[in-house]
């Protein structure tokens, strides 16, 4: 069984089965790089990278996009500490200055409710000539089923569609842990002591 208890105190809250393997991720990221390269053929691309979650995905993705790519990082936090539920509106760090009229691609690790992307799209549209979005994972079913979600955001480029489970690894975290795992895994529920 490929399960790790990373809580340190043996109380659980570790990580479970692999949901998306490192091999599958590598294949899909290469394809996404090709799709994005074709979509922006001959044009300079300005990537607004949503940190910290997109860190690992971004590093692999940009090496599959030849040509002129500008990286503009922005820090966003959606979940407070040890939580798997968003705390309302995402908190944004300072927004990058974008070249007027540029072609923006917002890159994030995962699209869940769409609140994070909605805020960023809104900001980028004020300066950019075009704004598109790319996420490694999308929780489409969760978004469609959740009636409380009022934002209607879909990403232009999506790596994988997944279910409702909370996932970690390949940059995705729980309380800033597990970003270093090479595969994407399901977070196990905490066992009560
Ligand atoms: P949204 O604003 O609800 O779309 O949430 C997007 C943000 O929530 C992402 O950038 C992630 O940081 C975080 N998030 C949503 N689902 C997960 C998950 O399953 N694992 C880790 N982070 C998640
Ligand atoms: Mg994030």
Tell me what pLDDT residue 89 has. 77
**Catalytic one among 108, 112, 173, 183?**
112
Q: Check if 156 is active-site.
A: no
The response to whether residue 138 sits with its C-beta less than 6 Å from ligand 1 reads: no
Q: What is the pLDDT of residues 136-187, one digit of tens each?
A: 999 998 888 876 666 689 999 999 999 999 999 999 999 999 999 999 999 9
User: What are the domain boundaries of the chain?
Assistant: 17-78+92-183
Ligand 1 and 114: CB distance under 6 A: yes
Which residues hold their Cβ within 5 A of ligand 2, which is an ion? 53
CB distance 169 to 182 below 8 Å: yes
Dist. CA 76–CA 175, nearest whole Å? 14
How far apart CA 66 and CA 190 sit, in angstroms, is 43
In the prediction, which pLDDT does 6 show?
47
CATH topology of domain 17-78+92-183: Rossmann fold (3.40.50)
In contact, 11 and 191? CB cutoff 8 Å: yes
pLDDT of 13? 66
Question: Across the strands, what pairs with 111?
Answer: 138
The list of the chain residues with pLDDT below 50 reads 1-3, 6-12, 193
| Cut 0.85: pTM above it | yes
Q: How many CB atoms lie within 10 A of CB 51?
A: 17
- Contact yes or no for 188/12 (Cβ under 8 A): yes
- Closest residue to atom 8 of ligand 1, CA basis: 78
Name, in order, each residue with C-beta under 8 angstroms of 10's C-beta and a sequence gap of 6 or more. Answer: none
Q: Would you tell me how many other CB atoms lie within 10 Å of the CB of residue 182?
A: 14
Q: What is the 3-state secondary structure (H, E, C) of 106-133?
A: EEEEEECCCHHHHHHHHHHHCCCCEEEE
């Amino acid at each position: 069984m490929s399960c790790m208890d990373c809580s340190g105190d043996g109380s659980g809250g570790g990580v479970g089965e692999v949901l998306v393997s490192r091999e599958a991720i590598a294949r899909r990221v290469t394809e996404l790089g090709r799709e994005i390269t074709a979509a922006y053929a001959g044009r300079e691309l300005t990537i607004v990278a949503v940190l910290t979650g997109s860190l690992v995905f971004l590093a692999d993705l940009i090496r599959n996009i030849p040509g002129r790519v500008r990286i503009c990082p922005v820090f966003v936090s959606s979940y407070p500490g040890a939580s798997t539920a968003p705390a309302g509106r995402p908190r944004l760090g300072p927004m990058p200055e974008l070249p007027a009229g540029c072609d923006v691609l917002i890159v994030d690790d995962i699209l869940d409710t769409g609140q994070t992307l909605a805020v960023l799209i809104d900001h980028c549209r004020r300066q950019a000539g075009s704004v598109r979005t790319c996420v490694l994972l999308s929780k489409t079913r969760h978004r469609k089923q959740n009636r409380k979600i009022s934002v209607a955001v879909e990403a232009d480029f999506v790596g994988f569609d997944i279910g409702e489970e909370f996932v970690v690894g390949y940059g995705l975290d729980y309380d800033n842990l597990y970003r270093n795992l090479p595969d994407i895994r399901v977070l196990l529920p905490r066992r009560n002591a």
